[in-house]
Amino acid sequence: MKTIGILLCITLACCHANPFGSRIAGGDEAEPGQFPFQVGLSITKENDVWSWCGGSIIAKRWILTAAHCLNRAISIEVWLGTNKVNTYPIPKGTQKIVVSDQRSFIKHSNFDSSNLAHDIGLIALPVEVMFNGNIEPVNLPIVSKNYANYTNYKAIAAGWGRIADDKPGTINDLRFVNLAILELETCAMYYKKGLVEEKHICVETSNGRSTCTGDSGGPLVLSGTRVQIGLVSFGASTGCQKNVPVVLTRITSYMDWIREKTGLQFATDELDLSKFY
């Protein structure tokens, strides 16, 4: 999750942006195979800058992540099928795919790094992912004329990011956190005018439970399903455990873009979402 300047409506305190993403703070360690669609991205950028992001498998040759994770990237190691990353020797069953062709890093054409508008991207893999019990694609939302706004739904985010504001650095073990989706109007009150829009989803953070630095690009899925409805974009630069909502890119706003860039087709059957309130 990238941190960005905020405007708290109560304190009127303005903060500055940080170029790195967030991590799971106050969450729980994931079980093996619990999130088979989750990938870790070890990213080498220009000027020998290194960063870490998350992503999701949407097809054998495609990874979905945040556009800001791909900004100035020159090479990416994609870790699949494991809860333990940056571990050597590589755990049995883990796949690690190196992507070094910058044409494989596809950012939304309207992505704006200054305010993280249209913060969505794709990685085209040079080889097909070998699916197994620990490596499986996530489900994207059904194509519909009337998408839910998901307010008050329960969802789960996972990642290898920071586990607390006072514990810097990414971790090797995947963690997850249960979060409630917040109405956009309330979320927007915490940020500068115009930063939060309809193409976003916000999640409430309380009791120190949140995504944090290093979780950028990772999927937000509806609880009890593998349906990805968001990907981690930005949060408050004051910290991950300050009860400020986290902002994610809303997947339903970009289904046409994903289909255009990948050529993938998506389900159109109706899904009963009422049980996720």
Q: What amino acid positions are annotated as catalytic residues?
A: 68, 119, 216
Which runs of consecutive H residues, i.e. helices, occur in the chain?
Answer: 67-70, 184-188, 255-262
Cα separation of 198 and 110, whole Å? Answer: 15
Cα separation of 75 and 73, whole Å? Answer: 6
Per the structure block, which two tokens stand in for 208?
């120190």
Which residues contact residue 106 at a Cβ distance below 8 angstroms, ignoring those fewer than 6 apart? 70, 121, 122, 123, 124, 261
CB of 164 closer than 8 Å to CB of 26? yes
Through-space distance between the first and last CA atoms of the chain, rounded to whole angstroms: 25
CB of 248 closer than 8 Å to CB of 197? no
CB of 78 closer than 8 Å to CB of 125? yes
Cα separation of 47 and 222, whole Å? Answer: 38
Which amino acid belongs to residue 71? Answer: N
CB of 44 closer than 8 Å to CB of 73? yes
